[in-house]
Amino acid sequence: QVVGGKVKKPGKRGRKPAKIDLKAKLERSRQSARECRARKKLRYQYLEELVSSRERAICALREELEMYKQWCMAMDQGKIPSEIKALLTGEEQGKAQQSSTKLAKAGKTEANSSNP
């Protein structure tokens, strides 16, 4: 057969496959399938763990949201929840402790810089 001025031989193109032992080829195929199934199993386990951790986070956030809703309802009725009072007094105490800690650190720094 002549195509474009070149003589073309009939048959398959490319390299001829080497004589591969059929049993070895089947075993490689089986091993590859086993590894693929193992990877798939690990991937599904990872995804299931990810889903369950996200579901737990969602539940925690819903509980927190419900708590804030109850606080808002109580404040609308003119009541200040004890948790908010505790948070406010805790913040005030925390600020006082931070300022005293800063003063103490500043005093130590000045004392260290004045000593040769």
pTM above 0.85, yes or no: no
pLDDT at residue 111 is higher than 70:
no
Is residue 71 one of the residues assigned to a domain? yes
Residue 113 has pLDDT above 60, yes or no: no
Judged on CB neighbours under 10 Å (0-12, 13-18, 19+), 81 is: middle
Residue 102 lies in a domain: no
Give a yes or no: residue 1 inside a domain: no
Amino acid at 116: P
Is residue 20 within 8 A of residue 14, CB to CB? The reply is no
Confirm whether 45 is domain-assigned. Answer: yes
Tally of structural domains, the chain: 1
| DSSP β-ladder status, 2-3 and 6-7 | antiparallel
pLDDT tens digits, 60-81: 999 999 999 999 999 999 888 8
Q: Output the average pLDDT for the chain.
A: 80
Amino acid 87: pLDDT = 83
**Residue 106 forms part of a structural domain:** no
Is residue 100 in some structural domain? Answer: no
In this structure, is residue 27 part of a structural domain? yes
Question: Which residue did the predictor score with more confidence, 83 or 44?
Answer: 44
Range of the domain at 30: 22-88
11's torsion region: left (phi>0), alpha (psi -120 to 50) or beta? Answer: left
Position 116 in a domain: no
